[in-house]
Copies of this chain bind each other. A is one copy, B any other.
Amino acid sequence: MSGALSPDFGHADSVITVDIGAIVENWRYLDSLSGPRTETAGVVKANAYGLGAARVAPALAKAGCRTFFVMSLDEAVALRRALTDSGHDDRRILALGGCHAGQEAAFRESRITPVINSLEQLQRWRDTARVTAGGGGAALHLDTGMTRLGLDPEETAWLLRRIEDGEEPLAGIDVELVMSHLAAGEDLADKTSDRQLASFARLCAALPDIPASLANSGGTLRGGGFHMALNRPGIALYGLHPAGLDTTGDQSDQAASLYPAVTWQARILQRRTAAAGDRVGYNGTHQLRRDSHIFTLGVGYADGYPRSLGNLATVTIAGMAAPVIGRVSMDSITIDVTDLDQARLAAASHAEILGAGYALARMAGDAGTIGYEILTQLGQRPARRYVNC
């Protein structure tokens, strides 16, 4: 599960190592939390949270994952190709953003199941199902408190009234799944999840015989009633507990059961000295109090290293911690290595900027954001290496 080998940077200045085996183990762990009647899907939207859906999804499929969630048709079509090319063409792909006007034929051609978020989408999918041979499989998203996607309460009420009245508003559609989404699934102190569970259970009772899904990563880790026919963890697959740094008690144990999936290493571009009083980086936000040894590393905000980490983050070099000083530049950062063992430094070619010594949750906390944003914002410029495939 370790990706902390010394990398071959080649023509690049930083390397992101993605531990596919860790992601597979995380899926197995999350799957083990639910009973045999609960399927565990894999959420691989946003290019598998920035890590590469074309690599992650086939590995999960091989491990037994049968259902995948993406956001857009673009993502769905690319994923269908990756699953077909890897011999997993029978896996199911759901597009959370829904099928938009004009996309119906492409959905059916690539066998993508739209998640229907509104009555307009429902009506259009029914209408086109009637005139095409591709079938009418769909999922139905009912909002229970996120106020973002899914039929709003008015639309849901209209739908349920028609069903109560003996009409068949879903006729012509094979509704494979009814789902809702938790607004604060990771926050055990927030009662919103319990209210959403109660609301969703009431709605499901009015829609019998349709498999139901409520649990994202937070719901999957909560267990109990949140486990329905299908769980759909996302962030936890990639080794980050959805509560981030706020893990205590049971959540802390769960966080320890998830393997980090990413290590990021940056080349030492330059070793230099600077004098007491010198200022470092743009706008001189760090002033040296002593004569110093400074390394410049080949990673910056254009690579996805958050600019907000300037003067805050830590990197690991030859097993030692060093602080980032000055602002994060577009293409580089500067670290203070004055206090470090110079003999060990002499042999170092790179520093680890994300990994065992400085974990994703800590980086996100220091950057004032969440690990989800850091992963999905990893840039295209760093080289990618996949291990434990």
Interface residues of A (CB under 8 A from B): 9-13, 45-47, 49-50, 71-75, 77, 96-98, 100, 103, 106, 117-118, 120, 143, 145-149, 152-155, 183-184, 187, 190, 192, 267, 269-275, 278-284, 288, 294, 296, 298, 300-302, 304, 307-308, 326, 329-332, 334, 368-370, 372-373, 376-377, 379-381, 383
Contacts and interface: CB of A to CB of B under 8 A. Distances in A.
Given A148-B281, A183-B284, A331 B96 contact: yes
Given A369-B307, A377-B302, A380-B47, A282 B184 contact: yes
Given A11-B73, A148-B332, A272-B152, A47 B304 contact: no
B72 A11 contact: yes
A381 B72 CA distance: 9
Contact of A152 (B187, B273, B307): B273
A147 B72 contact: no
14 contacts: A9-B100, A10-B74, A11-B77, A11-B103, A46-B381, A49-B330, A97-B332, A98-B269, A117-B269, A184-B283, A301-B376, A301-B377, A308-B368, A376-B379
Contacts of A274: 147, 152
A128 to B, nearest CB: 17
A267 B100 contact: yes
B98 A270 contact: yes
B152 A46 contact: no
A117 B272 CA distance: 10
A147 B96 CA distance: 47
A11 B95 CA distance: 11
Nearest to A146: B281
Contact of A330 (B279, B300, B331, B376): B376
A302 B46 contact: yes
A273 B151 CA distance: 10
A100 B13 CA distance: 10
Given A11-B72, A74-B11, A147 B334 contact: yes
A328 to B, nearest CB: 9
B72 A270 contact: no
A1 B138 CA distance: 42
Contacts of A377: 301-302, 304, 377, 379
Contacts of A97: 13, 269, 298, 331-332
Nearest to A75: B381
Nearest to A334: B148
Given A97-B331, A147-B279, A308-B368, 5 more contacts: A46-B331, A117-B270, A118-B271, A149-B270, A192-B284
A302 B376 contact: yes
A265 to B, nearest CB: 14
A103 B267 CA distance: 13
A149 B103 contact: no
A378 to B, nearest CB: 10
Contacts of A106: 11
A50 B304 CA distance: 12
Closest 8 CB pairs of A and B: A46-B302, A302-B376, A11-B74, A11-B73, A152-B272, A71-B331, A147-B280, A301-B373
Contacts of A10: 74
A148 B11 contact: no
Contacts of A103: 11
Given A152-B274, A377-B377, A330 B45 contact: yes
A269 B71 CA distance: 11
B118 A372 contact: no
Contacts of A280: 147-148
Contacts of A288: 147
